[in-house]
Amino acid sequence: MDWVKTAAGGAGGAAFGSVVTTPRSVRMPSTVFGACMGVGAGVAAGFMHAQSRLMGYSPHSHTMNGAVKRPAYAIPEGQEQYLTDYAARNPPTQ
């Protein structure tokens, strides 16, 4: 899923760089720059979501029947309410 975000960011950045360029002589450099910025944004988003999953704040990948896999460790007593409140404020995106 993180690779899809990276590819989508690159494609979107390239399209944006190509569309907003007025002189045709700078269209290709603008497209390449937009693609690089989009790939960078996709990689940053992938790292952010991976870190959130590894720390247990977001659910891991989904199983085939749609159930969410939970972390393999038990959540300590004091952090259960914090994690529940955090998940309610920031629902994970798919």
73 pLDDT tier (thresholds 50, 70, 90):
low
Cβ distance 60 to 71 under 8 Å?
yes
Query: Which letter, b or e, does each residue of 4-14 get, where b requires 16 or more Cβ atoms within 10 Å of its Cβ?
Result: ebbeebbebbb
Helix H segments across 1-94? 2-19, 27-54, 79-89
Whole-prediction pTM: 0.56
Q: Which pair of structure tokens corresponds to residue 22?
A: 């007025």
User: CA 20, CA 57: separation in Å to the nearest integer?
Assistant: 38
pLDDT tens-digit map of 29-71: 999 999 999 999 989 988 888 888 777 776 655 555 656 556 5
The pLDDT value given to residue 35: 92
